[in-house]
Amino acid sequence: MTTILVVEDEEVVRETLAYNLQQEGYAVLTTGDGSESLKVVREQRPDLIVLDIMLPGMDGLSVCRALRRDKEIAYIPIIMLTARGTQGDKMVGLDSGADDYITKPFGLGEFLARIRAVLRRADGQSTSSREVRTGDITADLMSRRVHRGNQEVQLSQKEFDLLVELMRNQGAVLSRDLILTRVWGYDFCGDSRTVDVHVRWLREKLEDDPSNPQHIITVRGVGYRFEAAE
């Protein structure tokens, strides 16, 4: 059974979300406290965490960062609830390592759709973990070889890791900081230009016309998005 942890201090919101998730057939854990949520995650290992950004004491962003720093539980997807719809909030959410965010107030239909989308993405990663495929590009995770059609593409280790990260999140915008964290690790000392340089190299190897990329798309002021080109 799929278990979802809802972390939200406003009781009405928390109970409403919990009730509707249960109606959808999910098992639901709830807490209104940030530090308590870390304990629950470590002990219960939910499949997904819905995390409000505004919490008393330890706020949602700090919880998110703490979860991502803990290797044992860093794989669990997080959907952040943000209070306002400003670009700043969204960026802060993605930079802290959230998989998705949803802005209050939101409809239940949208909320449940996001839940399903994030769970589907996470499931795809664990069940078909040998290979990541999108469009005509295939990355074999065991041999760490990449093919475009029948043609093998030679990539460095970091180019490979970067490509897989982008492909796994096809269609979603990844910020440079998030890419740095996931591909280079938290203790990496370089800056986000490292990402740009590797994207350039990847494009030279993968794109028909590197100056007009169809796969690795620049999202100005934010980061990159992978698309399976036609």
* Site for Ca ion, rule CB under 5 A: 9-10, 52, 54
Beta strands in the chain (DSSP E): 3-7, 27-31, 48-52, 78-82, 100-103, 131-134, 137-140, 145-148, 151-153, 173-175, 216-219, 223-226
Determine contact, residues 174/166, Cβ cutoff 8 Å: yes
Q: Would you tell me how many other CB atoms lie within 10 Å of the CB of residue 183?
A: 21
- Decide whether 82 or 169 has the Cβ nearer to Ca ion: 82
* Dist. CA 126–CA 53, nearest whole Å: 27
Q: Min. distance of Cβ 172 from Ca ion in angstroms?
A: 25
Cβ proximity to Ca ion: between 10 and 196 the closer is 10
Tell me the closest approach of the beta carbon of residue 139 to Ca ion, in angstroms.
Answer: 39
Instruction: Provide the minimum distance between the beta carbon of 27 and Ca ion in the complex, in angstroms, as a whole number.
Output: 22
Residues 6 or more apart whose Cβ sits within 8 Å of residue 123: none
Contacts with 37 (C-beta within 8 Å, 6 or more apart), sequence order: 5, 7, 31, 49, 51, 63
Question: How many Å apart are CA 84 and CA 147, to the nearest integer?
Answer: 42
Q: How far is the CB of 8 from Ca ion (least distance, A)?
A: 5
Cβ closest to Ca ion, residue 92 vs residue 183:
92
Between the alpha carbon of residue 148 and those of residues 69, 134, 178, the distances in Å are 34, 10, 26
Closer Cβ to Ca ion, 78 or 139, answer by number: 78
Instruction: Please report how close the Cβ of residue 81 comes to Ca ion at its closest, in angstroms.
Output: 7
Least distance in angstroms from the C-beta of 14 to Ca ion: 9
Q: Compare residues 8 and 161 and give the one whose CB is closer to Ca ion.
A: 8
The nearer residue to Ca ion, 10 or 100, going by C-beta atoms, is 10
